[in-house]
Structure 1
Amino acid sequence: MDYKIQGILSLLQMAQKQGVDMQRLCDLSDLGLEDLKAGRLPELSIVNRLWLNAIKLTGDEYLGLHIGEEGGLASLGIVGQLIQTSATIEEAVLHTCEFVNLISDAFTLALVKGDADFSIVFEIDERCWLHYREAVKQNIDTALVFSMVEYNALTLGKVRPVAVYLPWSRPADDGEYKRVFDTRLFYGQPKARISFDNQLLDERIITADYELMRALVKHAEGLKDKYKETDKFSAKVRQTIINQSYIHPPRVTDVAATLNLSVRTLQRRLKAENTTFHDLQDEVRQELAMQYLKQKVYPIKEVSYILGYNEVSAFNRSFKRWTGLTPVKYQNQQP
């Protein structure tokens, strides 16, 4: 299972614990439970809608805080295992910072040391913050509380943060933040961060296991590389083109609007990955053309139309450029 899915399941379970019908919550949010079970990660827009609906149905605007209080490193998958098997809290924090992309798209983490205390600093993805603010805010709340709760569990001590810094305004009633963190709170800050006394970095973790930790790091590095490939902007654009191509090929303006970007920004980001919208659309057309011809459901003229060609002859030329065969010859070779 994609480790990012576990965070969605934690939200669903918390909402259910507060009396919300899980299926109703999913239906309101256009989230398919079967897709989650099959390991398919929903779009961030759906995740954001899920948070908004969960808060509305539970009446709990601090769901993220309460999920964090539940703790449980198992919910972090391999990142949780790395934390458990690290020798010290400092090593655990560094592992979390390195592999946080396995569990969240909303932010990256950095360990910043000061003279008396250290901070775990959240670098929030600007696009996520702009378009999916509720999901980002609640996930940061969860992560802030989670770090405090788990450091307690890992050291068998009473860990209390020195201060917590939040990048949003003080709520009308911040009693829940005060109860959960029991420390100084600073609102409207440039970045989210939680600070602890430097002595905590040297605390030994009772479940440390050097050999297992080394094996887990190797595995996590492989997963991290895999996410780098699938998280490429061009891969997201390509998938959007596929999603919108089953009626008629989308225009660049359609895809840019779906991704909440201007056409110029979309083209600039694709150029940075050495590709263009035209190249991606051409790849998708080839993939769909071969799929349609293998199925032998539609006549070639209709396949040509579905893929956005005004003339069958133009489709024939494109297909021969892709495969070296005409559509007819390719289709005849299929079982």
Structure 2
Amino acid sequence: MGAMPSASSSNIWVASMVRMFASQGIEPDELFELAGMDIARLKRPHERFTSREVNRLWRVAVHRTGKFNLGLDRALARRYVRFDMATQSMWNGSTLLDSLEGFAKYLTLINDAGAFAIYPGHTHCWLQLSHGGNPRAPRQRAEFGLLALLLLCQKVAQEPIRPVAVEFTGAEPEDLHAYRMAFHCPLRFGQPFARLCMPTAELAKPVMHNTDSLFALHDKLVEHRLERLADARTSFRASEEIIRRLHLGVPTRADVARSVGVPEVELEKRLRAEGQSFAQLLDDVRRELAQHYLGVGSLPLAQITGLLGWEAPADFSAASKRWFGVSPLQYRRRLVAGS
């Protein structure tokens, strides 16, 4: 079995970062040219960028703008960080800590460059960037990652939670004003990890979530699969890609293989080793999504047909009878009667 791909960032995250850099004076075309990268990749919906590539973009942006505290701007982070992507993966937590643990587990499983680890304690809890200790990475990227993580905590909690402390791997700069304004807590430099220390009592508070959107339904299914496929990394990663893409049309095995970061043949090989196949995963995802969609009484059957990647209602009807023994309408009535 081949090696797992290196940590990477999604197209959506990188596109938001590029827009942030553009707001500071470096246009996307110039940014990518100086970084030696093809800007056309931003137009590919499921493209991913390696950690090294993201580092190059940060270095170029900092050098060209001359803004060495670019990663510490709260206003920019609030405007350009895709908090919606994160909160969709945190829908099921009853507390902020539960939500963070679910999000951290998800990022680690898909090998995302934004992954972080949680080290809870009786009074304090550390949130540590998994890729923040690389001495070759620009310090601004780790600083921005820590700031984004703090703002995410505050957004989900709907409170201005303050960290107990924040630690950086780089040397202490001469001017600490930007750091103090960003984090409002004690600062420590020259540490082995980039991490936030948060008060456990604040993370234990209950949080409220809006789970009415289709994206929330997607994340509910992803969470269920995460529990069932925790030891089947490729199966989970492939099914997660199918869930995210299906409403746009049926993804091909080649599409999913590119997102997972392996050749198409290798993807099928890994799935077989985990007792799965691409066709089986696609059918399972469709069945589980159909159950969720049919449970939402406001979704017309014609819309559900499209969300499941079919054009003809007859295809959905045939699949429903195979899965549930009845038509989609009859199955919806059964769900309503049992609720």
Tell me: CA distance 1:230–1:121, structure 2 relative to 1, closer, same or farther (3 Å). farther
Could you list the per-position Cα deviations for residues 17-46 of structure 1 after superposition, in whole angstroms to 9, with x for gaps in the alignment?
112222111211122221221143344443
Residue 16 of structure 1 and its aligned partner are, at CA, apart by: 1.1
TM-score w.r.t. the length of structure 1 is: 0.58
Residue 114 of structure 1 aligns to which amino acid in structure 2? Answer: G
Q: CA deviation at 1:219?
A: 5.9
- Give 1:86 deviation, angstroms: 2.8
Amino acid at match of 1:88: T
1:240-274 Cα shifts (integer Å, max 9, x gaps): xxxxxxxxxxxxxxxxxxxxxxxxxxxxxxxxxxx
- Structure 1 residue 13 and structure 2 residue 19: aligned? yes
Say which SS state the counterpart of residue 56 (structure 1) adopts.
helix
1:225 to 223, 228, 237: 237
The answer to whether the aligner puts 1:95 opposite 2:79 as a matched pair is no
Residue 83 of structure 1 corresponds to 90
Contact 2:19/2:80 (<8 A) preserved: no
- Contact map agreement 2:11 2:44 (CA 8 A) in 1: no
SS of 1:124's partner is coil
Whole-Å separation in 2 of the counterparts to 1:153 and 1:78: 13
Question: 1-side partners of 2:67 and 2:121: how far apart?
Answer: 35
- What is the aligned-residue RMSD (CA, Å)? 3.8
Normalized per residue, the structure richer in helix is: 1
**Residues 61 and 125 of structure 1, relative CA distance in 2, 3 Å threshold:** closer
Q: Is the 8 A contact 1:163 1:196 kept in 2?
A: yes
CA gap 1:49/1:67 in 2 versus in 1, 3 angstroms: farther
Identity %: 20
Correspondences of 1:39-118 after superposition (within 5 Å): 39=45, 40-66=47-73, 70-71=77-78, 75=82, 78-101=85-108, 105-106=112-113, 108-118=115-125
Matching residue of 2:315: none
Residues 139 and 92 of structure 1: CA distance in aligned 2, closer, same or farther (over 3 Å) = farther
- Unmatched segments (≥5 aa) in structure 2: 1-7, 241-255, 267-339
Distance in 2 (alpha carbons) for counterparts of 1:149 and 1:174: 20
Amino acid in structure 1 at the alignment position of 2:34: L
Structural mapping, 1:1-335, within 5 Å: 4-39=10-45, 40-66=47-73, 70-71=77-78, 75=82, 78-101=85-108, 105-106=112-113, 108-124=115-131, 129=134, 132-134=136-138, 137-207=139-209, 209=211, 212=217, 214-218=220-224, 225-226=237-238
In the alignment, is the contact (CA less than 8 A) between 2:128 and 2:193 conserved in 1? yes
TM-score, length-normalised on structure 2?
Answer: 0.57
Closer/same/farther in 2, CA of residues 156 and 46 from structure 1, 3 Å limit: closer
CA distance in structure 2 between the aligned counterparts of 1:35 and 1:18, rounded to whole angstroms = 22
Q: 1:49 to 1:3 in 2, by over 3 A?
A: closer
1:189, CA displacement in angstroms? 1.0
CA distance in structure 2 between the partners assigned to 1:177 and 1:202 by the alignment: 26
Partner secondary structure for residue 90 of structure 2: helix
State the aligned residue count: 232
Name the larger-Rg structure.
1
Cα deviation for residue 173 of structure 1 reads 1.7
Deviations 1:162-214 (A, max 9, x none): 11011111122222111100100111111121111111122222225498453
Q: Is the 8 A contact 2:91 2:210 kept in 1?
A: yes
Query: Structure 1's 146 and 46: CA in aligned 2 closer, same or farther, altered over 3 A?
Result: closer
Unaligned runs of 5+ in 1: 240-335
Contact 1:3 1:76 in 2 (8 A): no
Q: 1:170 to 1:192 in 2, by over 3 A?
A: same
Q: Report if the CA contact (8 A) 2:74-2:182 is conserved.
A: no
Following the alignment from structure 1 to structure 2, what is the Cα–Cα distance between the partners of residues 73 and 199?
29
Contact 2:162-2:198 within 8 A present in 1 as well:
yes
CA distance in 1, matches of 2:172, 2:187: 9
